[in-house]
Amino acid sequence: GWARAVRGLLLDVSGVLYDSGADGGIPIAGSAEAVRRIKASGLKLQLCTNETQATRENFVRKLRALGFDVSVAEVTAPAPAACRLLKERGLRPHLLVHDDLIPEFAEVDKTNPNCVVLGDAAENFTYANLNEAFRLLIGMEKPVLISLGKGRYYKETDGLKLDVGAYMKALEYACDVQAEVVGKPAKKFFESALAELGVPAEQAIMIGDDIVSDVGGAQQCGMRALQVRTGKYRPSDENHPEVKPDAYVNNLAEAVDTILQHL
């Protein structure tokens, strides 16, 4: 019954469409064709990603080079949401993010920082850089730490990699502060993605490889959610004590097959 009455799909990207890597990554078998079939069917589509190693423009350029027919407007990502939050609250960030993401914050005042914004900084997660962020936070009367996600790890072509959540937890512990998470699994982030999709939660399905951030986050918003057995999926996910997907599917193509059969 999970495949019935669907008008739109939210797709995680890394681990669902492709496995990232230093060489740009490789598409997961059948995923590019699955995206084409979704669009041809008339279903609405939005990519809901915690990607913070590139601007949306460069991210889409990479996806298109891998064979995916997607546009910038079809990507919901944490950095633009963080910029809106910073401007609304008059916050001036110290950025600990990937070099390629910095252009997303071009319109934000970064002088005399009064908060820290943390993204998947990859090679920029050095002791010196983490310590600089720590010193800024510990010196604030009311420290503000904003994290562009809280994932524990993700998969690249050469294996699993530590994600931003591990470094977020380190700063939370050292500074006795609770981070504000802008990306998945934050409810506001999924609500933004649904608004951009233009479909109510009960008529949307989230498809992801992360049992907590993708599946758990989407279900908290009233969506159905599937876990693919690609990307960071591990068999132990199927015994998670708190999160139970509406279904497991071997890959995106299998999920799309089932959904289109019920249109």
What is the spatial distance between Cα 194 and Cα 19, in angstroms, rounded to a whole number?
25
Give me the tens of pLDDT residue by residue for the chain, a chain 263 residues long: 899 999 999 999 999 999 988 788 999 999 999 999 999 999 999 999 999 999 999 999 999 999 999 999 999 999 999 999 999 999 999 999 999 999 999 999 999 999 999 999 999 999 999 999 999 999 999 999 999 999 999 999 999 999 999 999 999 999 999 999 999 999 999 999 999 999 999 999 999 999 999 999 999 999 999 999 999 999 999 999 999 999 999 999 999 999 999 99
Whether the model clears a pTM of 0.85, i.e. scores above it, the answer is: yes
What is the predicted pLDDT for the residue at 184?
A: 96
What is the spatial distance between Cα 100 and Cα 95, in angstroms, rounded to a whole number?
12
What is the spatial distance between Cα 142 and Cα 82, in angstroms, rounded to a whole number?
19
Torsional sign, CA 42, 43, 48, 49? negative
What is the predicted pLDDT for the residue at 21?
A: 85
- Domains of the chain as residue ranges with CATH: 8-50+184-261 (3.40.50.1000), 78-181 (3.40.50.1000)
What is the predicted pLDDT for the residue at 24?
A: 82
What is the spatial distance between Cα 262 and Cα 89, in angstroms, rounded to a whole number?
45
Residue 76 is classified by DSSP as: E
Longest alpha-carbon distance in the chain = 57
Q: Kindly report, residue by residue over 201-242, the tens digit of the pLDDT.
A: 999 999 999 999 999 999 999 999 999 999 999 999 999 999
What is the predicted pLDDT for the residue at 23?
A: 82
